[in-house]
Every structure is written in structure tokens, then in C-alpha cells.
């Protein structure tokens, strides 16, 4: 690509692409392709001038070489551009804003006075109709104030004031909508879904794990308990209970059997289904996320609800104050000054924008939040409950050793265990599969249908014999498998978690799982205490000995061992009855009831899909400091909302007072009111933490 260097300084270069016109798509390609260069810290591409500003820390020659080889048609460059970038949205509202300003200038300085008056009356009809419609519905809202102010100005033949008010309202509406849409767009683009793998079924009945983006229309895939349905399709066999909360908002699972349609993003809570793919990956992903965010806005925090209700309650006071001012002063100008200022716009704009911006800040830190009320719940929470495995310990535990009984081969037992465990992703299951992969053990499908028993284990049949893998409670106590008469079995090393494999009713092997603590766990719990959490509880299905050792190392206030999923949920219900706000964090299918019960359920991103679906918040698995970040951002959000309240009430109250005293004319009051609303809205879009 031929480019011209316009300006250059240390670590910064401005170039112009030598083309006549640059489309929005080309601007995006250039921006993302140049941003992908190692050492480039920031890129801005201006499509109107065909310019690009590049900030870099690498060698200048690298930038020049990239520019010389750059092509808009290169598939590697186009592949870097996401489904939505925000550039088209910004252009849409830039054009709307420019159009509003141009119409105002033409109306004020070009058209003759009679035409201006006719246009003002015509435009005023829209606002007056809105106000009348609102009154007919029995509501007193901001549209009534706007209609009254514009109508009175028109009746007084004060067309300049009416025109100014309508222009400011138009600009305010455009900027409000732009800010809101941009907040949703920014948040949606940071919530990357990532590429997942799916089990596909070949013509000869084999199951193969492949990337979801390699799946074609008509392919057959299998989804089992706890897994997310990655693509839209029709069920061709099997029965499953599917959680469709992400699509319909209804948390009660829906039964799906042969012939039923299932949707990407929903989760199999129980059972399994084989489906024929009808829509492949990528189609409408961004739209689905936007829909989820817009739905999440319905989950407003109590603070947002208070702001909305307060705004509506203030409208009658504004109308009453206007009437009272006119009765006392008989001055229409002073009375209109009250109508030009209302608290509703700023209150109804600033609070939702603050929440959306907070959700966007969370997303930048690897935290996905499904609604404002969950951040408020985190801010108010005084108790946090941790599941142990995959949360306080690493989400990728390791296989330390395997012991076998009855002269069975270790590798064969590991191969069999991996063959079963790979169907139900969980931290311990992943450890078994990873160990088999490390040893180069190929575990092709040679068993019958796999059945998952929540919080216990897995059951299947191999060569006519029933094979079980799971906890001691599941294998020995529930299934009554015969333990070996072996001293080694009676003295298993206590520093490991134990996974039992039974074949034909007899224990065949025990897999030792090393469950290393997260190095940051103790510091995270300390910081959570410092940020307002008074009680940290750990709950685990492990034995008392293991639970005690972990609890002592990380510094939790309480711990509970050998608990079942229903025990965790019951504990949270008891805390609610005691008046506590509770956060629950977990990563497995067995954590789902507790995640649903908590005021804010938090799932680890690498955990089971059903946990992520049911959870209100999902955090990155990189480290637990995301929890501290979430708590701090939630606290900062509530502080910002309080600041918005004080500023809006104080500033607009001052404008009303100055208008009643005759210091400010109505048009100036309207200008300052709209400017303050915009300023507070823009302030609410800024990052909560610098």
C-alpha cells in the first residue's frame, strides 16, 4: 500500500493512505491490522481523510515495512476485524448531530421569519402530542414539562425560545441515545464468546472433538449434561432438559426431545441430545450479546429504580412550582424557567449509563456481569462462599499418581478414565484427560452411553461390564462396589484428592489428584475483608482433613467439608434468613443450585457451562484478583451513583432558584440544564477506577 508520511515524532507517526476514498470497512481493517503489529500501542484511523496515527515502541522500520506490505484485501488482515467495531454506530450519530445543527443554522439565519414560525409550530406539535398522550395515560413525566414549556412559548409568540428549546431537546435526545447505544456496543464487543470445541458424530458412529468454527451446516453434534449448546439445530435423538434463560429469561429448564429446536447459548441441565446443526458459528453472535445486555438492563439495581421513581415523582412538583411562581409573580418568564429545568432527564440517563459503564469496566478486567442489580448485590454483600476445587485451588489440578488393583495396567486404567471424563468438563475431569494426553494415550470411544450423576461421578458400560468413576461416597457407599483387600487402599496418601475407578462392581484403580492452591488465594481473601466482606466461607465435597488444611492456608473464617450441592444452597438460604447478603463462587455443575440461590452467583470462566449460564457474574480463570476488582468496581459504582444524585439535585435546584429570581432567562436555563445532563452522562461513561 502506498502511503505518505504527514508528520512524525518520537514513537508516533501520521500517514495518509494514497487512495481517493476510504470506506468504514477499510478503516477498520487498517486499524485492527496495524494494532496487531508487535510494539504498536495505539492506532487511530480517520476514514474521511484517509489518515492513520500510529503510536509505537518498536523499531520504526517495522512500522514502515508493515505499511508497505499492507493490503485491504489480505485475508489475514480482514480476519482480524471483529463482527462489530463501533465505527458505523459513531458515524450514524455524528451524521444525526451534524444534521440537527445544520437545520438549526438554516432555520435561524437563512429562512424568513414567517417560515421559521410555521416550522416551529409544526415541530412543536410532536412534543405537545407526546405530553398530551402522557397525560391521557395518567402519567406526569418529563414529556409533559417539555410540552408545557414549548406550548406556552408558542402561545406567547416567543418562537425563538420555543425553537431553542426544541433544538436543545433534539440534540439532547441524540446525545443520550448515542451515549446509551455506545455503552451497550462497547460492552458487547468486550464480551468475546471465544472459540469452543464440540463433539461431532461421524458416519461410522465415532465421536470427535473439533473446534466449533469447523462445524458445517448439517453436521451432527452431541451435547451432554452441564455443557452449552454451541450452535442452533434440531434434535435428532436423545432427551435433555435445557436451560434457555439466555434466550427467554425463563430459568425453568425446558424438555427437548427428537424434533425439537435448540438454540446456541442455552445449556443442557440434565440428559443429552444429538442435534443436526442448522446455523453455524458466527451468525448473529454480536446481536445475541446485545440482546442479552439489553435484557440485563431490565435487571435494574435498586439505585436505578430509585432514580427512575424519583424522577417521575419530581415532575408534579415542577409543574406545581411553575404554577405557584406564576400566581405569585405574574411573570411568565420566571415561571417558564422552572419548566426548562427538570431532574428527570439527568436522573434517568446518568444512572443506567453509570451501570452500563461499570459493566464495561468489569468486562475489560475479564468479568462478565448480567445486570446492574448484581453489582449492587456485590457492593452490599457481607458474606462470600467459595467452592474449593477450581476456585481457591487451581482450575487445572494435576494427576499425581495412579494405583491399580488386580494386576491392572496403570496406563489402561488412565485411558479408560480419560475416555469417560472427557465428556463432562470439570477441573478434575480435565486433569485426567490432560494426563492421558501428556502420556500419549489415545482413548477412542469404546463404551456405551455415558451417564453423569451430579456431584458424584460417571457411569457407563465397557465390554459388557459396568464402569464407574467418581468419589468414595459414590463408588463405595452408593454403588456398593467392593474395595480391594489391600493395605495400600486402606492407607491412601492424605495430601491428595482421590478419584475411584470401578469395573464390574470392584474398585480397579485410584487416581491421586494434586489440587494446588492458588498462590494469590490468601491475599485475595485478605483484600476482600478490607473491601467490606466480613465473612468468608469455604464449602467442599472433600473430606474434613483436606478442607481443614486448605482453610488454614488461605485464611477463611469458616469451612464445611463433605457437603452436597443441596447443602450449599441450604446454607445460603439460612444466611438470607439471618439478614445477610451472600455471594457464591464456584465452577462445577454441583455448584449450580448455590449459584442460583445467592444474591450474586459468580462462576469461573473455565468451569462447567451450566454454572456459567446460571451464574450472574463470570470471572476469568487467570487469577482470583478479579474478585477484588469486582468488589472495588461495585463499591465505586455505588459511590458514583450517590455523587450523581447530589450533583443533579444540587445543580438543577440552583438553576430553578436563579430562574425564579429572574437571573436566568428560560432559554439559558434550558441550555445549562441540557449541558449539565450531557456532562453528567459523559462523566458517568468514564472509567470507575483511573
Task: Report the SS3 class of residue 641.
Answer: helix
Predicted local distance difference test score (pLDDT) of residue 250: 53
Residues 470-492 as b or e (16 or more Cβ within 10 Å = b)? bbbbbbbeebebebbeeeeeeee
Q: How far apart are CA 335 and CA 681, in angstroms?
A: 27
Q: What is the pLDDT of residue 176?
A: 63
Residue 690: the pLDDT is 66
Q: Give the three cell numbers for residue 44.
A: 487511530
Higher model confidence: residue 172 or residue 688?
688
Nearest residue to 174 (alpha-carbon basis) of 95, 105, 116, 86: 95
Dist CA 430 CA 426 (whole Å): 6
Known active-site residue 312 = no
Judge contact between 210 and 221, C-beta under 8 A: no
Name the H helices within 298-422. 302-329, 332-339, 344-364, 372-380, 410-421
Query: Has residue 603 got a pLDDT over 60?
Result: yes
Report the C-alpha gap between 576 and 190 in whole angstroms: 34
The string of DSSP letters for 537-589 reads EEE-SS-HHHHHHHHHHHT-SEEE-S--HHHHHHHHHHHHHTT--EEEEE-SG
How much is the pLDDT for 277? 87
Return the number of other C-beta atoms located less than 10 Å from residue 105's C-beta. Answer: 10
Query: Strands 254-256 and 232-243, how do they pair?
Result: antiparallel
| 553 or 251, greater pLDDT | 553
Cα-based distances in Å from 597 to 148, 601, 608, 612, 619: 48, 8, 17, 14, 18
Work out the average pLDDT over 473-487.
Answer: 87
Mean per-residue pLDDT of the chain: 82
Higher pLDDT, 461 or 31: 31
Alpha-carbon span 64 to 51, nearest angstrom:
15
**Could you tell me which residue, 92 or 282, shows the higher pLDDT?**
92
pLDDT at site 94? 85
DSSP letter at 391 equals I
pLDDT band at 195, cuts 50/70/90?
Answer: very low
**Annotated catalytic residue, options 47, 51, 170, 387:** 387
Q: Strand, coil or helix: what is 3?
A: strand
Between 187 and 499, the higher pLDDT residue: 499
CA 240 – CA 260 distance, rounded (Å):
10
Please determine, for residue 490, whether its predicted confidence score (pLDDT) is greater than 90: no
pLDDT top residue among 335 and 550? 550
Q: Over the stretch 114-155, which tens digit does the pLDDT of each residue have?
A: 898 999 899 999 989 988 998 888 877 777 877 887 888 888
pLDDT(473) > 70: yes
- Among 25-39, 124-138, 239-253, the least confident range: 239-253
Over the range 633-672, which residues count as b (16 or more CB within 10 Å of their CB) and which as e? bbbbbbebbeebbebbeebbeebbebbbeeebbbbbbbbb
pLDDT at 192: 45
Share of the chain above pLDDT 70, in %: 84
Taking only the tens place, the pLDDT of each residue in 417-467 is 988 887 766 677 888 888 988 888 876 655 556 676 655 678 888 888 889
Sorting pLDDT into bands at 50, 70 and 90, what band is 527? very high
Confidence grade of residue 14 (pLDDT, cut at 50, 70, 90): very high
Which domains are seen in the chain, by residue range?
3-81 (3.30.70.100), 91-188+299-351+637-685 (no CATH), 197-280 (2.70.150.10), 367-393+518-619 (3.40.50.1000), 398-514 (3.40.1110.10)
Confidence check: pLDDT of 485 > 80: yes
- Taking the C-alpha atoms of residue 336 and residue 400, their distance in angstroms, rounded to an integer, is 78
Q: Of 590, 525, 611, 506, which Cα lies nearest the Cα of 245?
A: 611
Amino acid 249: pLDDT: 47
Residue 129 host element (H or E): helix 113-136
Q: What is the pLDDT of residues 624-647, one digit of tens each?
A: 898 999 999 999 998 998 898 888
Lowest model confidence (mean pLDDT) among 165-179, 312-326, 497-511: 165-179
Tens digits of residue pLDDT in 572-589: 999 999 999 999 998 766
Q: Cell 444524585 sits at which residue?
A: 645
Q: Using the predicted structure, report yes or no on whether residue 339 has a pLDDT greater than 80.
A: no
| Strand 582-586 relative to strand 383-387, pairing | parallel
- Burial code (b: 16+ CB inside 10 Å, e: under 16) for 9-29 equals eeeebbbbbeeeebeeebbbb
- Condensed to tens digits (0 to 9), the pLDDT of residues 264-309 reads 767 787 788 899 988 765 444 455 555 555 554 444 555 555 655 5
Under 8 Å between Cβ of 420 and 534: no
**Which residue(s) pair with 511 in the sheet?**
402, 499
Amino acid at each position: 500500500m502506498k502511503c505518505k508520511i504527514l508528520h512524525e515524532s518520537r514513537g508516533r507517526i501520521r500517514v495518509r493512505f494514497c487512495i481517493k476514498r476510504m470506506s468504514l470497512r477499510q478503516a477498520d481493517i487498517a486499524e485492527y491490522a496495524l494494532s496487531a503489529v508487535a510494539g504498536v500501542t495505539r492506532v487511530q484511523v480517520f476514514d474521511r481523510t484517509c489518515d492513520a496515527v500510529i503510536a509505537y515502541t518498536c523499531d520504526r522500520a517495522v512500522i514502515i515495512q508493515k505499511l508497505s506490505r499492507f493490503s485491504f484485501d489480505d485475508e489475514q488482515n480482514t480476519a482480524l476485524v471483529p463482527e462489530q467495531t463501533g465505527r458505523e454506530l459513531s458515524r450514524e450519530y455524528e451524521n444525526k448531530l451534524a444534521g440537527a445543527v445544520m437545520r438549526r443554522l438554516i432555520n435561524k439565519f437563512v429562512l424568513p421569519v414567517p417560515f421559521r414560525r410555521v416550522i416551529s409550530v409544526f415541530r412543536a406539535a410532536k412534543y405537545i402530542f407526546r405530553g398530551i398522550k402522557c397525560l391521557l395515560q395518567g402519567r406526569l413525566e418529563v414529556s409533559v414539562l417539555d410540552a408545557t414549556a414549548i406550548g406556552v412559548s408558542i402561545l406567547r409568540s416567543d418562537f425563538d425560545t420555543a425553537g431553542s428549546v426544541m433544538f436543545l431537546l433534539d440534540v439532547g435526545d441524540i446525545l443520550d441515545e448515542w451515549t446509551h447505544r455506545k455503552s451497550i456496543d462497547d460492552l458487547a464487543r468486550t464480551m468475546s464468546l471465544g472459540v469452543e470445541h464440540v463433539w461431532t458424530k461421524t458416519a461410522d458412529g465415532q465421536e470427535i472433538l473439533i473446534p466449533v468454527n469447523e462445524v458445517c451446516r448439517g453436521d451432527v453434534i452431541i451435547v451432554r449434561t452441564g455443557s452449552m449448546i454451541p450452535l442452533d439445530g434440531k434434535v435428532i435423538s436423545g432427551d435433555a432438559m435445557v436451560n434457555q434463560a439466555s434466550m427467554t429469561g425463563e430459568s425453568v429448564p425446558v424438555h427437548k426431545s427428537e424434533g425439537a429446536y435448540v438454540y446456541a447459548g442455552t445449556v443442557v441441565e440434565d440428559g443429552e441430545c444429538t442435534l443436526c446443526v442448522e446455523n453455524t458459528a458466527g451468525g448473529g453472535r454480536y446481536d445475541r450479546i446485545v440482546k442479552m445486555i439489553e435484557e440485563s438492563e431490565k435487571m435494574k439495581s435498586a439505585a436505578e429504580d430509585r432514580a427512575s421513581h424519583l424522577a417521575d415523582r419530581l415532575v408534579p412538583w415542577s409543574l406545581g412550582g411553575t404554577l405557584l411562581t406564576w400566581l405569585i409573580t405574574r411573570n411568565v418568564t420566571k415561571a417558564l424557567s422552572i419548566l426548562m429545568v427538570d431532574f428527570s432527564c439527568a436522573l434517568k440517563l446518568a444512572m443506567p449509563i453509570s451501570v452500563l459503564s461499570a459493566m464495561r469496566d468489569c468486562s475489560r478486567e475479564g468479568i462478565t456481569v448480567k445486570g446492574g442489580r448484581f453489582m449492587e448485590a456485590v457492593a452490599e454483600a457481607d458474606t462470600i462462599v467459595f467452592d474449593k476445587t477450581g476456585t481457591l485451588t487451581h482450575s487445572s489440578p494435576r494427576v499425581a499418581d495412579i494405583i491399580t488393583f488386580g494386576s491392572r495396567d496403570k496406563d489402561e486404567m488412565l485411558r479408560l478414565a480419560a475416555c469417560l471424563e472427557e465428556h463432562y468438563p470439570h477441573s478434575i475431569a480435565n486433569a485426567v484427560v490432560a494426563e492421558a494426553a501428556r502420556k500419549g494415550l489415545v482413548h477412542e470411544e469404546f463404551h456405551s452411553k455415558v451417564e453423569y450423576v451430579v456431584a458424584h461421578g460417571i457411569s457407563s458400560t465397557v465390554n459388557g461390564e459396568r464402569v464407574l468413576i467418581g468419589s468414595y461416597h459414590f463408588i463405595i457407599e452408593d454403588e456398593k462396589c467392593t474395595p480391594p483387600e489391600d493395605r495400600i487402599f486402606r492407607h491412601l496418601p492424605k495430601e491428595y484428592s482421590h478419584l475411584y475407578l470401578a469395573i464390574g462392581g470392584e474398585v480397579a484403580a485410584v487416581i491421586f489428584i494434586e489440587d494446588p492452591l492458588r498462590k494469590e488465594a490468601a491475599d485475595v481473601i485478605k483484600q476482600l475483608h478490607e473491601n467490606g466482606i466480613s465473612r468468608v466461607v469455604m464449602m467442599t465435597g472433600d473430606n474434613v482433613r483436606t478442607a481443614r488444611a486448605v482453610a488454614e492456608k488461605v485464611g477463611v473464617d469458616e469451612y464445611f467439608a463433605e457437603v452436597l450441592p443441596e447443602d450449599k444452597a441450604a446454607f445460603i438460604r439460612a444466611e438470607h434468613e439471618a439478614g445477610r447478603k451472600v455471594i457464591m463462587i464456584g465452577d462445577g455443575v454441583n455448584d449450580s443450585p448455590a449459584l442460583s440461590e445467592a444474591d450474586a452467583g459468580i462462576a469461573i470462566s473455565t468451569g462447567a457451562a451450566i454454572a456459567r449460564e446460571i451464574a450472574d457474574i463470570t470471572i476469568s480463570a487467570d487469577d482470583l484478583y478479579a474478585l477484588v476488582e469486582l468488589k472495588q468496581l461495585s463499591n465505586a459504582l455505588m459511590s458514583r451513583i450517590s455523587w450523581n444524585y447530589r450533583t443533579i439535585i444540587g445543580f438543577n435546584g440552583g438553576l430553578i432558584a436563579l430562574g425564579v429570581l429572574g437571573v436566568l432567562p428560560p432559554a439559558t436555563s434550558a441550555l445549562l440544564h441540557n449541558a449539565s445532563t450531557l456532562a453528567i452522562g459523559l462523566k458517568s461513561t468514564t472509567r470507575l477506577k483511573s
